[in-house]
Amino acid sequence: MNDLDNPDQADIPAAGNPVTPPETAPVALPFVPVSSFAFRVPVATDPILDGLVPSADAPQRGMWLAPMNWPLLAIHASLLPDGRVVSFGTPNGGTSQSGRIFDIWDPTSGTGRAAHWQSPNAVGVDSFCASAAWIGAGRLMVAGGNVDRATSVLEVGSNTSTNAASLSAGRWYGTMITLADGRALMVGGGNAYADSGFKNPSAYLNADGGSDIIAMTPEVYSPGSGWTKLSGATSREAFGPDENRYWYPRAWVAPDGRVVGLSGQTLWRLDPNADAGHGGLEVTGRFKSPVNEQTRPNVGVTSSAVMFDTGRVLQTGGNGYRNGDASDADISFFYRTSSSRQATILEFGHGSWPTVNETSPMIHARQWHNATVLANGKVLVSGGTRFANYGGDAAVRNGEIWSPETGQWQEVGAASRIRVYHSTALLMPNGTVLTAGGGQTGPVNNLDAEVFVPPSMFSRDADGTVRLAERPVIEAVTAMAPHYGERMQIKLDKAWPIASVALNGTGNVTHGFDTGQRRLSLAFHQLDDVLEIELPESGSLAPPGYYMLTVLLANGVGSRSVIIRLGLDA
């Protein structure tokens, strides 16, 4: 591994070497199965999968389903605790950048127009290019965007939205995550359409090195108190105009409760509680080189990243600072670069400095793609383009799946639609991945969505017949809103030989980065058709939010997930 304190002592394994997983083997936990379960899991109707006729190669390459119409261009998408999807971005036929309408899709109602319900955003706030995070049970905060200091809250139970306290600075292209203690943290961003800091950083700075354009000081939101600036965490290196580091910084809660991130080349660590609550930030190293056409490093906002295991992030593709358009005649999109194939493991331990391991490069070079961690721990990369934000022959239609056990990539089927800048991807409770959006601006304006069914969801009979694999069924659980460190029990439909239990954070995705994603393996013990699982000890491991609970067989076939609430106040 490469110790970033001593970059000259790098010892990076050859590309493709297996990535040794942490020790997550099941731990024997003595338990007595309960006689009754408080929460029965309803049998969900699933028009997406019911009656599906698999393709002959589905067990190897998965299967893309036919595109379905979508009422708007979904540049933002979040999975709600009841399994519905809220998206927003461009209404009016996908021709305007205006996040003023929330569309809510109910997958149990099918793919037609009747399965969608639309609601105006709070007092018409334009949340285009915003960020989203959970701040309480059923309360999804959407902050920043085109009205760059605005904050609204979607109340999931009533499908309504309300205004919340305004941000202290413009947060167009800012990143918001939920901290270990349940507060929301916002980093990066700037005034709306301040999009070219990387070309001339000094033009975005004041004489004293501060900026009225770029938000280089993080802030936190506490319900009832509003937003508070973390004046001790101001950082040009982490959130400044150089390399457009203020554009959707990659940020995660680390196992020690602090926040770790990657902005351009800068690796950083933020403690929101340091200095009596004023915060503190330290630069912990440099990641790769600047964007260039020779080595094509996996850097910049055009990359994608996902926390696929506790404290472990897969960083893929990129090599771009902004959305270079497909039109050479449009001089406003003046920065166009070839895409990167590189993929890297960033590991953030319990208080240790980050380490970096290269894994196999992707099969296809990509910018503006999405990375989605599946319940079995593998990562699906979908969409993107081999050059800038171009479509046509430059667009990558085939997905590919990375295995943390082997460090290798497997190419899967090709989607029908080009998904580039402003596209989204969400892991769904039924195990599929919903992809949507792409465009405005760009080579497409996609008023549609597609569903990918991963290879692990199919089986092949001895006679060669391909079918959906038989899956474990979770019939009941002892809690839907358990506490950290608790043990809860799961009732299965029969005594399946369960090999692993996973928690996947529900997604909040935009611009190639899903701030809600993370996957954890849980210790468990099984007795016949009952499992007892041990939940994470704290919000440092699983920040307060909603999680998909999945049980899996040794071959990677998982149950339909049950969404539980963890750490959020009712």
The residues, ordered by sequence, that sit 6+ positions from 239 with a Cβ below 8 Å of its Cβ are 187, 188, 214, 215, 216, 217, 218, 245, 246, 249, 263
The residues, ordered by sequence, that sit 6+ positions from 350 with a Cβ below 8 Å of its Cβ are 254, 255, 256, 311
CA-based nearest residue to 181, from 225, 236, 233: 225
- The token duo for 105 is 């899709």
Q: At 104, phi and psi to the nearest 5?
A: -120, 120
Report how many helices (DSSP H) and strands (DSSP E) the chain contains, helices first: 3, 43
CA-based nearest residue to 250, from 169, 193, 307: 307
252-295 per-position pLDDT tens digit: 999 999 999 999 999 999 999 999 999 999 999 999 999 999 99
- The token duo for 485 is 């460190």
Strands (E) in 374-431, as ranges, are: 379-382, 398-402, 409-414, 423-427
Q: At 340, phi and psi to the nearest 5?
A: -105, 145
Supply the pLDDT for residue 328. 52
Q: Exposed e or buried b for every residue in 279-303, given b needs 16+ CB within 10 A? A: bbbbebbebbeebeeeebbbbbbbb
The residues, ordered by sequence, that sit 6+ positions from 41 with a Cβ below 8 Å of its Cβ are 474, 475, 476, 477, 562
Q: What DSSP letter does each residue of 309-325 carry, written as one string?
A: ETTEEEEE----SS---
527-556 per-position pLDDT tens digit: 999 999 999 999 999 999 999 999 999 999
Are 530 and 29 in contact by the 8 Å Cβ rule? The answer is no
pTM score, two decimals? 0.93
Strand partners, 358: 344
Kindly report the number of other CB atoms within 10 A of residue 92's CB atom.
11
- Could you tell me the end-to-end alpha-carbon distance of the chain, in angstroms, rounded to an integer? 43
Alpha-carbon gap, residue 524 to 498, rounded angstroms: 10
Alpha-carbon gap, residue 344 to 19, rounded angstroms: 11
Alpha-carbon gap, residue 495 to 492, rounded angstroms: 7
Which residues in the chain come in under a pLDDT of 50? 1-26, 28, 330-333
What H or E segment, with its residue span, contains residue 276? helix 274-277
415-435 per-position pLDDT tens digit: 999 999 999 999 999 999 999
CA-based nearest residue to 337, from 351, 353, 347, 323: 323
- Proportion of the chain above pLDDT 90, given as a percent: 82
Query: How far does CA 377 lie from the centroid of its chain?
Result: 14
Are 134 and 177 in contact by the 8 Å Cβ rule? The answer is no
Q: What angle do CA 20, 23, 61 make, to 5 degrees?
A: 55
493-529 per-position pLDDT tens digit: 999 999 999 999 999 999 999 999 999 999 999 999 9
Sign of the torsion angle spanned by Cα atoms 162, 164, 166, 171: negative
Are 99 and 118 in contact by the 8 Å Cβ rule? The answer is no
**Sheet with 474-477: strands ordered across:** 39-40, 474-477, 487-492, 530-534, 524-527
- Per DSSP, the three-state class of 464 is coil
Sign of the torsion angle spanned by Cα atoms 501, 503, 506, 509: negative
Kindly report the number of other CB atoms within 10 A of residue 416's CB atom.
11
